[in-house]
Amino acid sequence: MSSGALSGIVTLLFFTVLGDLLSDVLSLPVPGSVMGLILLVIYLQLSGGVSESLDKVSQFCIRYLAVLFIPGCVGIFFLSDLLLQQWLPITLAMLVATPVSLVLTAVLLQWLLKRFAGGENHHG
């Protein structure tokens, strides 16, 4: 990251803390990080653009987001008893439920998009 990264980092940290604060004050069910995300989107929409520094920093964060999941994933190897007992519900939820709901969502959206486009043509 170049010397210009600091302002992007500060922006991200500022909205993270602001999101945590808001989520805490209003005791929302939404995690602070998601509130921070929403607030930053609103800010970016109002201010009309992303600064070069924030753009660079966010690209870096998204590129290496997976690194932060390593400790969580390592823990799975210490859960072998649980996995032996509950392998069926876990496997079904991951490998059967995911494709089913994925296809249903895609079918629904394609149908809605066609109807939406059709409705627009009708008006036009």
Partner 1 sequence: MDEVISFSYGLLQRQINSPVAIVLINLGAFLLAEKLFNRMGRKGWLHPLFSTSLLVFLVIRCSPLEPDMYTRHSELLKMLLAPFTVSLAVPLSRQLHTLRQLAGPLMCSLLIGGFLAAFIGMGMALATGGSRDVVLSISTKAVTTAVALVMGEQYGAIIPLVAAVVIISGVYGSLVGPVLCRKFGVTDPRAIGFAMGVNAHAGGTARAFELDLTMGVYSSLGMCLCAIYMPLLMPWLISLLL
Q: Interaction with partner 1 in 61-80: which residues (CB under 8 A)?
A: 61-62, 64-79
Nearest residue to 8 (alpha-carbon basis) of 48, 59, 71: 59
CA distance 32 to 35: 5
Q: How many other CB atoms are found less than 10 A from the CB of residue 100?
A: 9
Tell me the closest approach of the beta carbon of residue 3 to partner 1, in angstroms: 19
Q: Does 15 bind partner 1 (CB under 8 A)?
A: yes
Radius of gyration of the CA atoms of the chain, in A: 21
Q: Does 7 bind partner 1 (CB under 8 A)?
A: no
Q: Which is nearer to partner 1, 3 or 29 (CB)?
A: 29
Q: Does 34 bind partner 1 (CB under 8 A)?
A: yes
CA distance 39 to 13: 12
Q: How many residues bind partner 1 (CB under 8 A)?
A: 72
Tell me the closest approach of the beta carbon of residue 57 to partner 1, in angstroms: 7
